[in-house]
Amino acid sequence: MNIKDYIIAPSILSADFARLGEESSKVLDCGADWIHFDVMDNHYVPNLTIGPMVCKALREFGIEAPIDAHLMVKPVDSLIESFAEAGASYITFHPEASDHIDRSIELIKSYDCKAGLVLNPASPVGLIEESLDKLDMVLLMSVNPGFGGQKFIDSVLNKITKVRSLIEKNNLNTRLEVDGGINLENISQIASAGADTFVAGSAIFNENDYSAVIKKMRSSLETI
């Protein structure tokens, strides 16, 4: 894969929540491509974070980069609409959280947003197979959703390779994003397995120099 095709999407879950506008703009100035926006509802996952009003506030603050809204919520449809109206670019949801997966995908597309499905570490690839040709992105969780700063679950590497071959077999341009526990030590292995889009929260925001980490991540990706 061409180095230019790799996307680094810092998760602002690990940013300073009192300064989300500045933090988002700083991490983009430091070389990030997208903002990964983790939405947790204390129902589908055991944590509560930020909603569409904060997404809209980031747009009004001047964030122009793609906002990748990862919905860890149940039900999903009303929040899909709110996030589309709030300026989200990608909207991804967990198939287990929607009663009508295809309807939720179509709803995202009806707003001209990019649609993605998310698989938890133990969720089978079969859950996305029927929808793959309609998806702009597949997001594979490499931790159990709900918290930042957890350890990458190695068994997900096989699933990354499996989904990459499905994408290639069907000649699709679907992005393959991986989320959870990504750091400087494992990013190249995750890319070699077939991922092209990398969410990193604590590995970036827990460092003082965001630019240095992102540069190092890109150099690791250059070795693939």
Residues that bind ligand DX5 (CB under 6 A): 11, 13-14, 36, 38, 70, 143, 145-146, 148-150, 179-182, 199-203
Strand partners, 138: 117, 176
Residue with tokens 């990459």: 164
- Strands, E, within 125-221: which ranges? 137-141, 175-179, 197-200
209 catalytically annotated: no
Residue 149's binding partner, choosing from Zn ion, ligand DX5, none, with beta-carbon cut-off 5 to 8 A by kind? ligand DX5
Q: Which of 6, 34, 38, 89 binds Zn ion (CB under 5 A)?
A: 38
Active-site position among 41, 136, 179, 196:
179
Is residue 69 classed exposed, middle or buried when 0-12, 13-18 and 19+ CB atoms within 10 A define those classes?
buried
Query: DSSP assignment of 66-84, as one string?
Result: -EEEEEE-SS-HHHHHHHH
Residue 132: partners with Cβ closer than 8 Å, 6 or more residues away: 138, 166, 167, 170, 172, 174
Shortest approach of Zn ion to residue 204 CB, angstroms? 13
- Chain positions 151 to 170 lying near Zn ion, rule: CB under 5 A, are none
Residue nearest to Zn ion (CB): 70
Structure tokens at 125: 């690839």
Structure tokens at 52: 């569409």
Cβ-based nearer residue to Zn ion, 136 or 179? 179
Cβ-based nearer residue to ligand DX5, 14 or 174? 14
Residue 146's binding partner, choosing from ligand DX5, Zn ion, none, with beta-carbon cut-off 5 to 8 A by kind? ligand DX5
Residue ranges binding Zn ion (CB under 5 A): 38, 70, 179
Supply the residues annotated as catalytic. Answer: 38, 179
